[in-house]
């Protein structure tokens, strides 16, 4: 029975992704964003549970990728699509096709997941931005808009910003960029200095800036990986 528990949590990830999609296309982007957060929590938990129970299977690995493709592949593309359609100039006229450009993130997420499943270099770390991190950046945008304490609405809803973010995230997903993983083999500071530093700084940013901190947290994650990259 215990070998099926991680897969059940993975299915919860998938369910949250499906529910997020229904809310996004219904115009409830904030609800969709919170469901993405729930999917990310389930995605993190299934790996922890599998390691704790010492169970793994090829089916579990494939199921995880399939669930991630929905929650962290289709969903971010849908969010960008809906945000771009809020611009009247893009919703009508000669530019009606441009919002579909948001699904470029979905395509590169699929490439990222396929690459991850077949890349033996990514057993203890990542190469390229993980799809959950990419999706959390995108999902933070509706939350920032819903509680815009820093007057960022005009920036976030600018089509050039959204399109530029789409290109940037798509590139990072498949970039040959080594990034550390939040997998703790021990709790010793010497073994996890980079991870502890990231978690402490991320917690401070989230407490101070809330949803607006999410893009900064992901940027911090990439920057803290740079010394490791340079050392190679």
Residues 6 or more apart whose CB falls under 8 angstroms from that of 55 comprise: 2, 3, 5, 6
The pLDDT profile of the chain, 232 residues, written as one tens digit per residue, is 777 899 999 999 999 999 999 999 999 999 999 999 999 999 999 988 988 888 888 888 899 999 999 999 999 999 999 999 998 777 677 788 999 999 999 999 999 999 988 888 887 889 999 999 999 999 999 999 999 999 999 999 999 999 999 999 999 999 999 999 988 777 788 888 999 999 999 999 999 999 999 999 999 999 999 865 554 4
State the Rg of the chain over Cα. Answer: 18
Asked if residues 26 and 78 have their Cβ atoms less than 8 Å apart, the reply is: no
In whole angstroms, how far apart are CA 192 and each of 47, 83, 189? Answer: 18, 38, 5
Instruction: Please tell me the number of Cα atoms within 13 Å of 40 on its side-chain side.
Output: 21
SS3 46: helix
Residues 6 or more apart whose CB falls under 8 angstroms from that of 31 comprise: 20, 23
For 172, phi and psi rounded to 5 degrees? -65, -30
Residues 6 or more apart whose CB falls under 8 angstroms from that of 188 comprise: none
3-state DSSP: the chain helix, strand, coil percent, rounded to 5?
80, 5, 15
The CATH number assigned to the domain holding 16 equals 1.20.120.1760
Whether the CA torsion 113, 115, 116, 117 is positive or negative: it is: positive
Residue 206 lies in domain: 2-231
Q: Provide the domain count of the chain.
A: 1
Task: Please state, in angstroms and rounded to a whole number, the distance separating the CA atoms of residues 232 and 198.
Answer: 20
Q: How far is CA 44 from the centre of its chain?
A: 12
Task: Please state, in angstroms and rounded to a whole number, the distance separating the CA atoms of residues 97 and 118.
Answer: 34
């Amino acid at each position: 029975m215990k070998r099926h528990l991680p897969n059940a949590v993975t299915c919860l990830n998938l369910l949250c992704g499906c529910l997020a999609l229904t809310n996004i296309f219904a115009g409830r982007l904030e609800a969709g964003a919170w469901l993405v957060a729930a999917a990310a929590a389930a995605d993190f938990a299934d790996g922890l549970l599998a390691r704790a129970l010492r169970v793994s299977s090829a089916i579990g690995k494939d199921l995880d990728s399939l669930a991630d493709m929905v929650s962290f592949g289709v969903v971010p593309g849908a969010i960008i699509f809906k945000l771009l359609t809020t611009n009247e100039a893009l919703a009508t006229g000669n530019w009606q096709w441009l919002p579909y450009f948001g699904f470029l993130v979905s395509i590169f997420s699929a490439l990222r997941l396929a690459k991850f499943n077949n890349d033996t270099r990514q057993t203890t770390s990542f190469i390229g931005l993980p799809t959950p991190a990419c999706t959390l950046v995108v999902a933070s945008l509706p939350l920032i808009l819903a509680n815009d304490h820093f007057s960022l609405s005009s920036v976030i809803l600018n089509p050039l910003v959204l399109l530029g973010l789409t290109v940037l995230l798509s590139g990072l997903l498949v970039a040959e960029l080594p990034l550390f993983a939040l997998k703790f083999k021990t709790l010793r500071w010497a073994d996890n200095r980079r991870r502890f530093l990231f978690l402490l700084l991320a917690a401070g940013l989230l407490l101070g800036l809330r949803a607006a901190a999410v893009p900064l947290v992901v940027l911090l994650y990439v920057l803290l990986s740079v010394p490791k990259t340079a050392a190679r």
